[in-house]
Structure formats: structure tokens, C-alpha cells
Copies of this chain bind each other. A is one copy, B any other.
Amino acid sequence: MRVQVLVRLKPGVLDVQGKAVEKGLQGLGFSDVDNVRVGRLIELDLESDNLDDAKAKVSQMCEKLLVNGVIENFEFCTL
């Protein structure tokens, strides 16, 4: 199955990249843009025919490698 993981900085964590994008957009005339946050999109194929098993594996992957749990949250879904 194809799995999509969305990784976001936790609320309250300063998003320098998001701020830079926000300034850039506003500088280009998109003045009605606010509160830009930039995260990561990770998509992967996982060989599994059991959804619960897949969920457990993806959670482990996030905790061990994909996500910095101190400053980031994640959510995932199957495509």
C-alpha cells in the first residue's frame, strides 16, 4: 500500500522557513496571506496486507527516523 506521512512543526515552534515564504509571498503582492507553515510530505510503499500492522510500522518509522518528536507532529494515511 502507498502511505502518505505529513510532518508538521508543533504549534508554537518558530517556523523560520514558513516566515521566509510568508515574506516572499507578501513581497510578491500576496498581501492576504498569513500564518505560513512549511512541513514535509513523505510518501512510501509498504508491503503489508494488514492495516493495523501497517499503522504500527509507520508509527515506528516516524518515531525512529522520519520525525523529530521534540518539535514535530505527524499524521499519516493510506492512499
Contact = CB atoms under 8 A, between A and B. Distances in A.
A40 interface: yes
A37 B25 CA distance: 26
Nearest to A15: B43
B65 A42 contact: no
B66 A28 contact: no
A39 B38 CA distance: 11
A65 B8 CA distance: 20
A8 B66 CA distance: 17
Contact of A36 (B24, B43, B60): B43
A57 B33 CA distance: 10
A71 interface: no
